[in-house]
Every structure is written in C-alpha cells, then in structure tokens.
Amino acid sequence: MLNALEVFTTVAVGLMVGVEFAVAFVLNPILGALPEDSGQLGRAHGGRMLGAVMPVWYIGSLVLVAVWAIAGWHHDGAGLVVTAGALLILSVIMSILLLVPINNRGKTWTPENRPADWKEQMNRWDRYHYVRVAVIIAAFALLVAALA
C-alpha cells in the first residue's frame, strides 16, 4: 500500500509541477505576446480558472506527502520526503502571502477597470511564480529520489 501512495503522490506533485511550469514558461509568454487587451483578459480568465483549482492541488499534494512521510517514517528516503514536504509548505506560504493577493486582484480586471500599473503587478506575480516553480520542482525531485 505504501508503494501505491508513493507513486500516486509523486504523480500528483509531478502533474502540479507540469501545470505551473507551463503557466510560467508557455502560457504567460503566449498571453503576453497577444495584441491589445487579449493577454490581460486571458490572464484574468486563467487566474479565475486556476485560482479555483490550484489551492486544492497544493494542499492535497501537501497532505499526500505528509501521509507518505508518516507511513514511511522508518523506510529509506523518509528524510527526502520530509524535506519535500517542507518545500511544499514553503510554496503554500509563498502562494498565500505573495501570489494570491495579486491573482485575486488580476482575475477581476477588465480593460475598463484595470489599474495603471497592471503590467507591473503581473510582472511581479511572474517573478514570484518563477521562484515558486523552482521550489516545487525541487520538492518533486526529492520525491522522485525517495522512490529510488
């Protein structure tokens, strides 16, 4: 049963990493290259859509890693799993303190009501997001190493 939990957890975290990586390095650059207001409207829609899904995914992944750490405490790789869990906690804290406030504002913006500094706010969100992606990639890598 522990093996199934390990694989399921690693896949769940890996998929989360893939989505967040795609947002950072594929979707947002595409949206940024769109003409006129299309990119801002796309980011607002993405903020609403992913803003509803990702909190569940982040917390769910953290819970799965915690269960794995507890269930596999006396197995090889437990330290790696605990460290991955600490990194996921860091990613949740970063999300709550840095990214969610910007996202909550941005998802309500339209070309008519967005603030003058909306691009700067989106650039700040992107910078924080790059760091968060690096953190969750490190957590994923530790989980993969713990499987070995």
Q: Are 97 and 127 in contact (CB under 8 A)?
A: no
Per-residue pLDDT, 148? 87
pLDDT digits (tens, 9 = 90+) for 31-67: 999 998 999 999 999 999 999 999 999 999 999 999 9
d(CA 83, CA 100): 24
pLDDT-flagged residues of the chain (< 70): none
d(CA 2, CA 76): 12
Q: Residue 36: left if φ>0, alpha if ψ -120 to 50, beta else—which one?
A: left
Per-residue pLDDT, 59? 97
Query: Any alpha helices (H) in the chain, and if so which ranges?
Result: 2-22, 28-33, 38-71, 78-94, 100-106, 118-147
pTM of the model: 0.95
Q: Phi, psi at residue 107, to the nearest 5°?
A: -70, -10
